[in-house]
Chains A and B, each alone.
Chain A
């Protein structure tokens, strides 16, 4: 497609964000057709606004032309939340990446949506504070994406997920109006729109600024690696630690296949012959951390941990964590493709669900690595496959569905922190009745009545992604709207 004259969508977008901040060359667009999940959909335009006003301007242009638009951060999302399944304009917010204010007396940081997660903590750490939610992709993912997906992370066990740490938002509504919701003062009257928007997967509004809660660094932190010869022993340890009245700051598990992938890549010091390792971190006041550490050791020993190692130095601690946070990247070494799922079960169902995951792997003929937030009951079964093998992709999705159905049957859910997106939307009826989904759809229409913002996500649809892409061009042609 080539640019043609005034009055076109291209020139309208250029007018808002400047000519350098609009991409439309198919080669350049190709980079933006996928995020961290399997599905793909190519946008017709990519824009890089630098201010909230520009975001609103882009949204108004999209409204004028009746073109869908989707917000995107770093594109690390794991449910296809940032792919434009009906094409249109991709609003990439990575240039809005300033930490605007740090207010220690109120323990709040005010940041733009393109700020990378870890930079918030880096900014405030010298003063003794941190931002708690720490997704494994925290060195790349953006706060805007975190808020949209209500991201979790290993340290959400004790302190909760993103929604517990977002106090207020500046938003652009799908009609281009700008609004502020929430605030740093507690218990603001009115509906908790900040809470509703957080985790809405980019379907209700585009965030242009977020007020984040800062936490004070703990007085003491101790990190342990517990090594097990049996997977069951490790998973029983998890619920038993919690049953002993300890809520560790983090309680993570990796199985043998994960260790096999991680060790050569990261050299975190996980023993390759172990069936499972638990990474356990306790933090808080000095004495309570000592008391809890001793209890954790006892519980691990009771469940036949072969060895319990403690990170004695900051470097050792970081090395143990590097293994966990690098696990997904390392799994790419084991097979050409993987399908990562995000089911949750009540903690006490962990031993059962892990056995079921293994059974499904055998049944469908895939190796499945397990690396997950055990303390939360949040599984990340990672199904290894090769998409070049005929029928493999279809079987992987069947296998994933079988695992998630088991999670639901065990009283859990299909996604703990990655989002529903495009991959799991047709499984929503396992969890919600028609009335539930209808109420959510009505709420969506309050914000996004024309469904121009991030269409085709979260809720069940009969159309597949492939069928949907290309709609914009066809519709534009029919309506005689000049796209470029």
Chain B
């Protein structure tokens, strides 16, 4: 195709032939079944700027692409000509353990960052889905809270500084490298959760934290599903500092923990020094009372692997199921949604108010009803993945609040609407 040949030539001129794909490999970067005309792997932020400028001249649709772990979110792209894969923008720019800050390029893998930090006894408590594949830029661009969200907060609480290439091809920076900073508008928060629609994030400064001395995970098997969320909320109210309270359906509990209690499993994570952990475990036992049919404690070398598998829930809990529904409600309302997950596979963050529900694309009327109920409770429903037919009938996001204002913000940073068009906003 002539357009592709020109486009390829332009991109090769910008980043070299080794950093451009235009053949069948572009299918690996398909979004909602649409493959881009070209896939480009910039190695510098200046290359990202040049790519965006070239795309803007031709009004081409550009999607930033990290590890692809959350590519199923969002509505189908209105235009998808170029995938800008950030994985070769992966340098550690500056790590200062004594300052509890790290500056990295956006394509750095979360696992590599985790290894780097661990050597200094530190961590970034984001628990992204697919921790082995996700990039820091993708985690922030999606802005989704991880399994310890209720305790540590969502990604945007950990971003101190950001550099991104906006839709006009300019590099824009917000924040800085210090834990406190109120100079200028908070572009970090604006870009977090913008799903690549305002700018392509190229560099991030994160606040990091000392690793807790020890973690333990209590696994409680429940005899009947009805009490799972109720018990989780009781734990949240009555036990001082759980780092996470998760609920798993029976089948997923069997897959992940080896035991499949009929009513699913409640997983409670504690972090801290040994005596506090023991005291918290004993408080947990007394809250659970006779409501759990078993109570196991996973610790030491067994825990990191299990935790990583939990973070991989879209592939494990959601294995073979084409639809991922991410339901988010005020935490205390989560119990009301127990009937909606009955008999289905799910991982719930009971402390944070999030249910990852996996299902077949059946019953679209039920989905509409679920969204309506989530909205009525002050929450929202997002599709984390779904077949194109379902997305065509059922928008991936709720109607955005303040759409006109959001639209103005979009145009302020991406005047021609070339970045991730249609995915979050038009």
Most A C-beta atoms less than 10 A away, residue of B154, B173, B273, B413: B273
A466 within 8 A of B: no
Cβ contact within 8 Å between A377 and B98: no
Which partner residue on chain B sits nearest A198 by CB separation?
B186
Could you list 20 examples of A-B contacts with CB < 8 Å? A105-B237, A152-B180, A179-B401, A181-B402, A187-B193, A188-B380, A190-B397, A191-B410, A192-B193, A193-B405, A199-B186, A245-B122, A287-B273, A412-B176, A416-B182, A431-B183, A433-B171, A435-B172, A443-B190, A447-B405
Which of B5-13, B246-254, B323-331, B386-394 lines the interface with chain A?
B323-331
Give residues of chain A (419-439) contacting chain B, Cβ–Cβ below 8 Å: 419-420, 424, 428, 431-433, 435-439
Cβ contact within 8 Å between A187 and B101: no
- Quick one: which of A156, A185, A245, A438 contacts B353, CB cutoff 8 A? A185
- Quick one: which of A107, A190, A439, A443 contacts B424, CB cutoff 8 A? A190
B268 within 8 A of A: no
Q: Kindly list 17 other residue pairs between chains A and B, CB separation below 8 angstroms, not including A413-B178, A439-B187.
A: A105-B332, A149-B182, A160-B157, A181-B402, A185-B328, A186-B331, A189-B397, A189-B424, A195-B156, A219-B241, A287-B272, A287-B274, A348-B98, A415-B183, A420-B184, A428-B183, A433-B171
Alpha-carbon gap, A239 to B173, bound state (A): 27
Give residues of chain A (113-152) contacting chain B, Cβ–Cβ below 8 Å: 149-150, 152
Q: List B contacts of A219 (CB < 8 A).
A: 240-241
Alpha-carbon gap, A438 to B330, bound state (A): 37
B121 within 8 A of A: yes
Cβ contact within 8 Å between B182 and A418: yes
Going nearest first, the 3 A-B pairs with the smallest beta carbon separation are A195-B189, A105-B332, A245-B210
Alpha-carbon gap, A442 to B198, bound state (A): 13
Report which B residues bind A (CB closer than 8 A): 96-101, 121-122, 143-145, 149, 153-154, 156-157, 166, 170-174, 176-190, 192-194, 198, 209-211, 213, 233, 237, 240-241, 272-276, 279-280, 326, 328-333, 352-354, 377-380, 382, 397-398, 400-402, 405-406, 408-410, 412-413, 424-425
Contact with B along A221-262 (1 / 0, CB 8 A): 000000000000000000110110111000000000000000
Cβ contact within 8 Å between A288 and B272: yes
Alpha-carbon gap, A190 to B337, bound state (A): 23
Q: List A contacts of B408 (CB < 8 A).
A: 446
- Quick one: which of A285, A417, A428 contacts B184, CB cutoff 8 A? A428
Cβ contact within 8 Å between B380 and A246: no
Cβ contact within 8 Å between B190 and A195: yes
Cβ contact within 8 Å between B209 and A247: yes
What total count of A-B pairs have CB within 8 Å?
A: 256
Which partner residue on chain B sits nearest A245 by CB separation?
B210
Cβ contact within 8 Å between A185 and B187: no
A48 to chain B, nearest CB (A): 27
Contacts A287-B275, A348-B96, A436-B174 given; does A187 touch B154 at CB 8 Å: yes
Contacts A191-B406, A439-B166 given; does A196 touch B185 at CB 8 Å: yes
Contact with B along A144-169 (1 / 0, CB 8 A): 00000110100011001101100000
B188 to chain A, nearest CB (A): 8
Q: List A contacts of B273 (CB < 8 A).
A: 285, 287-288, 291
A284 within 8 A of B: yes
A308 to chain B, nearest CB (A): 21
Cβ contact within 8 Å between B157 and A164: yes
- Quick one: which of A161, A243, A246, A287 contacts B180, CB cutoff 8 A? A161
Alpha-carbon gap, A361 to B122, bound state (A): 38
Alpha-carbon gap, A440 to B213, bound state (A): 42
Cβ contact within 8 Å between B240 and A216: yes
A207 to chain B, nearest CB (A): 15
Alpha-carbon gap, A245 to B99, bound state (A): 11
Q: List B contacts of A440 (CB < 8 A).
A: 174, 184-185, 187
A7 within 8 A of B: no
A90 to chain B, nearest CB (A): 22
Alpha-carbon gap, A424 to B409, bound state (A): 26
Cβ contact within 8 Å between B178 and A411: yes
Alpha-carbon gap, A446 to B180, bound state (A): 26
Alpha-carbon gap, A286 to B353, bound state (A): 28
Cβ contact within 8 Å between B380 and A185: yes
Alpha-carbon gap, A193 to B180, bound state (A): 20
Contact with B along A386-429 (1 / 0, CB 8 A): 00000000000000000000000001111111111000100010
Q: List A contacts of B170 (CB < 8 A).
A: 435, 438-439
- Quick one: which of A285, A432, A447 contacts B240, CB cutoff 8 A? A285
- Quick one: which of B99, B121, B145, B279 contacts A186, CB cutoff 8 A? B145
A183 within 8 A of B: yes
Cβ contact within 8 Å between B177 and A411: yes
A347 within 8 A of B: yes
Alpha-carbon gap, A183 to B329, bound state (A): 9
Cβ contact within 8 Å between B185 and A200: yes
A346 within 8 A of B: yes
Which partner residue on chain A sits nearest B241 by CB separation?
A285
Cβ contact within 8 Å between B182 and A419: yes
Q: List A contacts of B156 (CB < 8 A).
A: 192, 195
B387 to chain A, nearest CB (A): 20
Cβ contact within 8 Å between A344 and B328: no
- Quick one: which of A247, A416, A446 contacts B178, CB cutoff 8 A? A416
A106 within 8 A of B: yes
Alpha-carbon gap, A199 to B176, bound state (A): 15
Cβ contact within 8 Å between B182 and A346: no
- Quick one: which of A173, A185, A287 contacts B330, CB cutoff 8 A? A185
A80 to chain B, nearest CB (A): 14
Cβ contact within 8 Å between B184 and A164: no
A458 within 8 A of B: yes
Q: List B contacts of A287 (CB < 8 A).
A: 272-276, 279
